[in-house]
A = this chain, B = another copy of it.
Amino acid sequence: MSTPASNITAPTQFLEVKNQKYAYRRFGKGPGLSLLCLQHFTGTLDNWDPAVTDPLAEEREVILFESAGIGCSSGKVPTNVAGMAAHAMAFLDALGLTVCDVLGFSLGGMVAQQMVLDRPSIFRRIILVGTAPRGGEDIMHLEKPSLAKHLSDPNLKGYTVLQKIFFAPTDSSQAAGAAFIGRLVQRKDDREPISGPEVAQAQMAAFRDWEQFTGERFAGLKSIRQPTLVINGVHDEMIPVRNSYWLSENQPNAVLLTYPDSGHGSLFQFHESFTRQAAAFLNSDSPFAPF
């Protein structure tokens, strides 16, 4: 059986674990460890930009995971990150993967952090994009004027709102956003259902919980010893870049890369740079993060 190494064509597959059905896509091959991809707020399998996933799939298997209550996965969306991490680990266990690399974007980056805290052996190398540590600040406050003006604009429908909120308000970034939307709709068949308000509500509760912390702030990060690549756009309104500063300052083995002229979707805007840097990072065998 040949699986096309692209998120435009990879079939959606299903895995049953107890009474839970998980949708996922799995494509690509090569010498690299499998790369688990954990998705952003309300995003489904269809929100993974093929310009990001496909180049990475040239040297490794890429696994896009749909957590409980999203798209064609059954169940309910947990209202905290720990619940989402438990689903992702149950999925990896059922796949028989004891160790993999991970790309966590936004909410997915929080899930990745929680997973490695709960089971340190699960990841070899970690990529965190546009995300925040527990105890971070200004995480997905969609009521902020800079975001609310787009989310409440009746002229912005479907994916076009993503162009506004994932990209910076410059001509160059907005053009990159339009190209991104164009890539997301390249997949014609077997698309996932779009997330509804109940998904957003549960995930928003998880963000509010993630902003809380007890004890010493960011202390948990010090135990994440895996080489980590932290990436953020400097004009990210959804999860501001200072959250990535805290990740890279407090994780003992993290490299930070920030992109100019870009917002939350910096990895999509600079997909050529991102996939080159991510591949170089993942291909490194060094115990140190610098690659």
Copies in the complex: 2
User: Are the CB atoms of A260 and B234 closer together than 8 Å?
Assistant: no
User: Are the CB atoms of B257 and A234 closer together than 8 Å?
Assistant: no
The stretch that binds B, out of A62-70, A78-86, A207-215, A247-255, is A247-255
For A252, what are the chain B residues with a Cβ–Cβ distance below 8 Å?
A: 260-261
- In residues 232-269 of chain A, which contact B (Cβ within 8 Å)? 234, 241, 245, 248-249, 251-261
* Partner among B253, B258, B291 whose Cβ is within 8 Å of the Cβ of A248: B258
Scoring A residues 149 to 183 as 1 if CB is less than 8 Å from chain B, else 0, what string do you get?
00000000000000000000000000000000000
Instruction: Confirm or deny: A270 has a beta carbon within 8 angstroms of a beta carbon on chain B.
Output: yes
Instruction: Confirm or deny: A4 has a beta carbon within 8 angstroms of a beta carbon on chain B.
Output: no
10 A-B residue pairs with Cβ-Cβ distance under 8 Å, sorted by A, are A234-B248, A241-B249, A252-B260, A252-B261, A255-B258, A256-B256, A256-B257, A256-B258, A273-B290, A273-B291
How many residues of A are in contact with the other chain, CB < 8 A?
25
For A272, what are the chain B residues with a Cβ–Cβ distance below 8 Å?
A: 290
Scoring A residues 264 to 291 as 1 if CB is less than 8 Å from chain B, else 0, what string do you get?
0000001011101000000000001111
For A245, what are the chain B residues with a Cβ–Cβ distance below 8 Å?
A: 241, 245
Residue of A234, A253, A270, A289 ringed by the most chain B CB atoms within 10 A:
A234
Residue of A254, A258, A291 ringed by the most chain B CB atoms within 10 A:
A258
For A255, what are the chain B residues with a Cβ–Cβ distance below 8 Å?
A: 257-260
Shortest 4 CB-CB distances between A and B: which pairs?
A273-B290, A256-B258, A270-B290, A234-B249
Interfacial residues, chain A to chain B (CB-CB below 8 A) = 234, 241, 245, 248-249, 251-261, 270, 272-274, 276, 288-291
Chain B, Cβ-Cβ closest to A274 = B290
Task: Give the docked Cα–Cα distance between A248 and B253 (Å).
Answer: 21
Task: Give the docked Cα–Cα distance between A290 and B261 (Å).
Answer: 10
Task: Give the docked Cα–Cα distance between A273 and B291 (Å).
Answer: 5
For A270, what are the chain B residues with a Cβ–Cβ distance below 8 Å?
A: 288, 290
User: Are the CB atoms of A254 and B260 closer together than 8 Å?
Assistant: yes
Task: Give the docked Cα–Cα distance between A76 and B168 (Å).
Answer: 46
Task: Give the docked Cα–Cα distance between A253 and B170 (Å).
Answer: 13
* Partner among B254, B261, B290 whose Cβ is within 8 Å of the Cβ of A253: B261
Task: Give the docked Cα–Cα distance between A267 and B91 (Å).
Answer: 41
User: Are the CB atoms of A257 and B260 closer together than 8 Å?
Assistant: no
* Partner among B241, B261, B274, B290 whose Cβ is within 8 Å of the Cβ of A260: B290
Residue of A252, A290, A291 ringed by the most chain B CB atoms within 10 A:
A290
Task: Give the docked Cα–Cα distance between A252 and B290 (Å).
Answer: 25
Task: Give the docked Cα–Cα distance between A99 and B159 (Å).
Answer: 44
User: Are the CB atoms of A257 and B257 closer together than 8 Å?
Assistant: yes
